[in-house]
Amino acid sequence: MVIQPALKYLLMEREITQLIENCVQFFIENHYVKNRIDIYISLWRRGILLYMKKKEKNLYTPEIGQDFIRDCFPENDLRPTAKEMVRSIRVLDDYLKFGYIRPKAVVPVKHTLYGEIGKQMQKIVNHLQSERRSTKTIKKYELYLHRFLVYLNNEGVASINEISERHALKFVSTELNNKQYLVGYLRVLFRYWYENNISDENYENYLTNYKWTQKEKIPSYYDANEVQLIESSVDQSSRTGKRNCAILLLASRLGLRAADIANLQFSNIDWGKNEISLTQFKTGSPIKLPLLSDVGHAIIDYLKYGRFKSDSQQVFLSCRPPYVPATPGMVCGVIRGLIENSGVSIQGRRHGPHTLRHSLASSLLENGTPMPVISGVLGHEHTDTTMIYLRIDLTSLLKCALPVPLVSDDFYTQKGGTFYE
């Protein structure tokens, strides 16, 4: 009888040494580093192989893997070795079930709405889900309601009817929670509670006269010399360094956002015209930028000598197997690390991709570049959006300052030096 490939893994058992050989071959084909492969082989030798030998079993099944973890590494075992052993079993299970090994999963943080108050908060979340609100919106409600719930718990509030005006105003008055949208989420919660007879009082009235004022912030930026130092500090001798250099220059020389760098496709680069054309992730608006020679050479150097083999159409990949396409978070991490390790002072300043975007705007302003041109470079549809960058052009602002007129001595000596009505 011939077993179809799609059904082969439904048998869910395989000779353990053969399964390990299959996993090792998968690692090799997907460019896992030798050191990591050797670690897995050692884990299997000291772990599941020894366990199955003692049990006098030769065929591996997921059930045997779970028995091994339960018997040898209980849930309260927090040693790094225990976590590695659990991961080694997951690798075997993946290959047995799917015929490939999934990348290491990042477990998202879950903001639990616990207790009696949390139970009533969950009702508004369920209501919003029934109205087909976006997943992003739901997660924000869960985050900020969880934050409010933790605050109430710390204040000793055990039931909804114990919530007072002091609690609501004190919570939103902190620097962490003084956000316009957070206050809006609380108003929705309080209104829902009152309209559905969950609370005896409409707590939304507590926030009626609350005035949220946006604080003016001067954007963080680095001057031209600091940006040059950051760029020159990148070690381009490795595959990772070549990739990081190209990512950095796209941010520092062209002002691209992290999402646009991560999502950059081969089709976005016109080598004949020396142009980069893309649709901005944040605004959905198209933008066309010149492919500067330094940027182009850095990308070519990465593609020829740094990029691992992949069918992905995204230019940038992770530098660890299985070499997945870059994400905005990955780009942010790369740029933050480069700035931190460059020797440039980051005291009191942000140091992510957007800071380099501000730095580019500052440099253009100092060189007298017209505002419409800067707006075009940054991909702003209106120059009003670009005006925020005027706050970092101190040289130009000083030119706008008016001299303070001198005050004559007669002003201070009038009426005997004392002012009367």
Which of 277 and 386 is assigned the larger pLDDT? Answer: 277
The mean per-residue pLDDT over the stretch 99-126 comes to 85
The structural domains of the chain, with segments of one domain joined by +, span: 5-98, 115-207, 224-398
pTM over 0.75: no
**Res 392: pLDDT:** 53
Model confidence at 5, pLDDT cuts 50, 70, 90, reads very low
Per-chain mean pLDDT for the chain: 84
- Taking only Cα atoms into account, the Rg of the chain, rounded to an integer number of angstroms, comes to 30
Three-state SS annotation for the chain: CCCCHHHHHHHCCEEHHHHHHHHHHHHHHCCCCHHHHHHHHHHHHHCHHHHHHHCCCCEECHHHHHHHHHHHCCCCCCCHHHHHHHHHHHHHHHHHHHCCCCCCCCCCCCCCCCHHHHHHHHHHHHHHHHCCCCHHHHHHHHHHHHHHHHHHHHCCCCCHHHCCHHHHHHHHCCCCCCCHHHHHHHHHHHHHHHHCCCCCCCHHHHHCCCCCCCCCCCCCCCCHHHHHHHHHCCCCCCHHHHHHHHHHHHHHCCCCCHHHHHCCEHHHEECCCCEEEEECCCCCCEEEEECCHHHHHHHHHHHHHCCCCCCCCECCECCCCCCCECCHHHHHHHHHHHHHCCCCCCCCCCCCHHHHHHHHHHHHHHCCCCHHHHHHHHCCCCHHHHHHHHHHCHHHHHHHCCCCCCCCHHHHHHHHHCCCC
**Res 73: pLDDT:** 79
What topology does CATH give the domain 224-398? hpI Integrase; Chain A (1.10.443)
On the question of pLDDT at 397 being above 70, the answer is no
Angle at 118 between CA 115 and CA 123, to 5 degrees: 135
Predicted confidence (pLDDT) per residue in 325-337, tens digit: 999 989 999 999 9
On the question of pLDDT at 218 being above 70, the answer is no
**Res 76: pLDDT:** 60
**Res 4: pLDDT:** 44
**Res 52: pLDDT:** 94
**Res 415: pLDDT:** 62
**Res 71: pLDDT:** 87
User: In CATH terms, is domain 115-207 a member of 2.60.40.10?
Assistant: no
Q: Which residues contact 143 (CB under 8 A, 6 or more apart)?
A: 111
On the question of pLDDT at 232 being above 90, the answer is yes
**Res 411: pLDDT:** 67
Model confidence at 175, pLDDT cuts 50, 70, 90, reads low
Model confidence at 6, pLDDT cuts 50, 70, 90, reads very low
**Across 106-115, 222-231, 402-411, which has the greatest mean pLDDT?**
222-231
Predicted confidence (pLDDT) per residue in 276-316, tens digit: 999 999 888 899 999 999 999 999 999 999 999 899 999 99
On the question of pLDDT at 173 being above 90, the answer is no
Predicted confidence (pLDDT) per residue in 8-30, tens digit: 444 567 899 999 999 999 999 88
Which of 80 and 389 is assigned the larger pLDDT? Answer: 80
